[in-house]
Amino acid sequence: MQAAAIAFDRFKPLQDDACKSRIVAAKAALGKRAVILGHHYQRADVYQHADLTGDSLKLSKLAGQTAADYIVFCGVHFMAEVADILSKPEQVVILPDMNAGCSMADMANLAKVERAWREIGEVLDPDQTITPVTYINSAADLKAFCGEHGGIVCTSSNAKQILEWSFARREKVLFFPDQHLGRWSGYMIGIPPDEMMVWDFDEPLGGLTPEEIRKARILLWKGHCSVHQMFQVQHVLNFRSRYPEGMVIAHPECNFEVCKMSDYVGSTDFIINTIAESKPNTRWLVGTELNLVNRIAEQFKPQGKIVQFMAPTVCMCSTMARIDPQHLAWTLENLVDGKVVNRIKVPGREAELARTALKRMLEVV
């Protein structure tokens, strides 16, 4: 009988330096059998061990390309689900801490979306008139819902293109779970604000009248990112008053007013690349997660670029921060011993439908 997995309790008291040396040793022992994927928002003491890094779109593609036996995802739960859906059947996807979730993803669950779909059906035929679009920051069963209903997945870097794809097929879109990304992307393709209605999932008919539902081009789910909602117009105004020559760049999960006041709006990879390609000695105000902002501030400091965080308070992705050196060391040492902990496995039918929606996205972009 195979011995039980090494208990995590043995790793809890370890100092970060001890974990670092054990992670390095475990990676060496595993060699090419394991690959570590790290999202840009990951904390620095974990990010340093990633073999492949990127935003959601890049990591989605990489998950389907790696040949490793084990994919250790240093991100959050929905990202590991995507890796499982797009990887080969024999590959094993692991999330070092199962508590690493996403508050935005939790704002839209399958029961609420199915109820919304039924309520919309009281006004019009959703399967004929509405394309469901889910942000990649969502559970696998919502991606499966989109796959089953002719819908698609989007990321912050391709949402505009995905909306264009959607409107070429049907006249309306139900966009979940992030209203801000949906609103900004709709604005970018010229949809008027009064044709983008917020669907409040706690209210009958989403808090809308039948006439409002018929008029809406995009129904925006009442969801948001707890990090990006912290950035406010006043933060931009204060920066511009102090540094008129400075540039403002924001993630499209920020509210509409912040995005409209920014010089640039885009995904995490877009933010990194835009600052990288800017002239030396420029100053930037950045509206996205703190770990990423701190990392690029250090990266571009030698070029005289000053990169500062938009909010005056500390604001990081606390759920992703649950992936710490202790959990990563525990995960890898169990793999060295031939044991898998915290495997992420999406059920077959759900994975098939979600894969359909994800493949539609990858074909568009």
Quickly state the pLDDT bin for 365 (edges 50, 70, 90): confident
Beta strand 343-344 with 92-94: parallel, antiparallel or unpaired? antiparallel
Hey, which CATH number is domain 105-226, 3.40.710.10, 3.40.50.10800, 3.20.190.10, 3.40.800.10?
Answer: 3.40.50.10800
For residue 114, the SS3 value is helix
Tell me the per-residue pLDDT of 174-204, one tens digit each, with 9 for 90 and over. 999 999 999 999 999 999 999 999 999 999 9
Over 48-95, what HEC string results?
CCCCEEECHHHHHHHHCCCCCCEEEEECCHHHHHHHHHHCCCCCEEEC
Query: What class, spelled out in words, does domain 8-101+319-347 have in CATH?
Result: alpha beta
> CA 289, 292, 295, 300 torsion: positive or negative?
negative
3-class SS letters over 132-147: EEEECCCCHHHHHHHH
pLDDT grade, residue 23 (50/70/90)? very high
Q: For the chain, where are the E strands, in sequence order?
A: 34-39, 52-54, 70-74, 92-94, 130-135, 152-154, 172-176, 196-199, 218-221, 247-250, 264-265, 283-287, 306-309, 343-344
Does 60 score more than 80 pLDDT?
no
> Rounded to an integer, what distance in angstroms lies between the CA atom of residue 102 and that of residue 89?
25
Is 343:80 a contact under the CB 8 Å cutoff? Answer: no
Task: Tell whether pTM > 0.75.
Answer: yes
The CA distance from 346 to 110, in Å, is 15
What residue segments make up the domains of the chain, in order of their start? 8-101+319-347, 105-226, 228-309
Strand order in the sheet with 247-250: 264-265, 247-250, 283-287, 306-309
Higher pLDDT, residue 262 or 43: 262
| pLDDT at site 146 | 98
Closest CA to 289 of 267, 304, 273, 306: 267
- Measured on CA atoms in the order 12, 18, 21, 22, is the torsion positive or negative? negative
What pLDDT score does 59 carry?
A: 82
pLDDT for position 314? 64
The reported pLDDT for the residue numbered 106 is: 84
What is the phi-psi region of residue 304: left when phi exceeds 0, alpha when psi lies from -120 to 50, beta otherwise?
A: left
According to DSSP, the β-strands at 172-176 and 218-221 are parallel
For residue 139, what are its two tokens? 């559970």
DSSP state of 97: -
Specify the length of the chain in residues. 365
Q: Kindly tell me if the per-residue pLDDT of 279 is higher than 90.
A: yes
Q: Which residues, including other chains, have CB under 8 Å from residue 79's CB and lie 6 or more apart?
A: 37, 39, 56, 59, 73, 136
Q: What is the mean pLDDT of residues 66-76?
A: 93
Identify the pLDDT of residue 37: 95
pLDDT, tens digit, 9 for 90 and up, residues 91-136: 999 999 999 878 888 899 999 999 999 999 999 999 999 999 999 9
The arithmetic mean of pLDDT across residues 5-16, rounded, is 92
User: Rounded to an integer, what distance in angstroms lies between the CA atom of residue 329 and that of residue 26?
Assistant: 8
- Pick the range with the lowest mean pLDDT from 38-42, 266-270, 283-287, 316-320: 316-320
pLDDT for 3: 67
The hierarchical CATH code for the domain 228-309 is: 3.40.50.10800
What does the pLDDT read at residue 318? 64
pLDDT band at 1 (very low <50, low <70, confident <90, very high): very low
- Kindly indicate the confidence band of residue 4, based on its pLDDT and cuts at 50, 70 and 90: confident
Q: What angle do CA 36, 61, 290 make, to 5 degrees?
A: 60
Residues 147-181 pLDDT 10s: 999 999 999 999 999 999 999 999 999 999 999 99
CB 326 within 8 A of CB 334: no
Q: Give the model confidence (pLDDT) of 311-347 as tens digits.
A: 987 666 667 778 999 999 999 999 999 999 999 999 9
Proportion of the chain above pLDDT 90, given as a percent: 84
Question: Do 105-226 and 228-309 have matching folds?
Answer: yes
Report the Cα–Cα distance between both ends of the chain, in Å, rounded.
48
Alpha carbons 279 and 305: distance in angstroms, whole number: 8
* Residue among 197, 203, 195, 198 nearest 223 (CA): 198
Q: 3-12, 65-74, 230-239, 352-361: which range is least confident on average?
A: 3-12
